[in-house]
Amino acid sequence: MFRTVVLLIVAGLPGLVAMSPGYGQQASPVRCRDALRPVLLQTDPDRDLLPDIQNLCEGQAKGGDPDALYQLSLLYLGLVDWQPDKAIPMMRSAAESGVPEAQYWLAWQYESGPLLENDPQLALRWYLRAGEQEHRLALDRLADVYGRGELGMPADARQAGLYRARAARCEN
């Protein structure tokens, strides 16, 4: 059986994205994150790129890539469409699969965001999980939590200092 391979040039990205129709895009040398990041960093992003990026992310998410699922959830939080009811379960699944950015996003939303019910215990749980993976913003927030005694935790200057030191060592 012959398999058709379509090569598609994604504007703004070096190289080619190989796509095998019917087989998802797991074989693609370009990751969803790498395709979406340049668009996110633009002041006025080229919205014409988003459908191709969305297709790439959907294929990789269907193939079991939790990071692609996280990136896809961002597309449904206003980049392509505003569908929080679709995005939040994706975000939660990505977080449960260990994506630190998704874990941080859930923590932030449980602490103060408008999309999830305020729950300090869940916020702390997700900050801790993201911090275990050296997510700098989570570590900074944990330092503040322990430094000020927030989210139901007692103030603990020693613990706050440990989190600050870990955050300072983060490269990202």
* pLDDT tens digits for range 123-144: 999 999 999 999 999 999 999 9
Residue 50 sits in the same domain as residue 130: no
Residue 109 sits in the same domain as residue 164: yes
Over range 8-19, report the average pLDDT: 34
Q: Which amino acid, one-letter code, is at 40? A: L
User: How many domains are there within the chain?
Assistant: 2
Over range 70-82, report the average pLDDT: 93
Determine the structural domain holding residue 56 and report its residue range: 1-97
Residue 58 sits in the same domain as residue 86: yes
From 120, 142, 147, select the one nearest 131 (Cα to Cα): 142
Residue 164 sits in the same domain as residue 139: yes
> For the chain, what percent of residues have pLDDT higher than 70?
83
pLDDT > 50? residue 159: yes
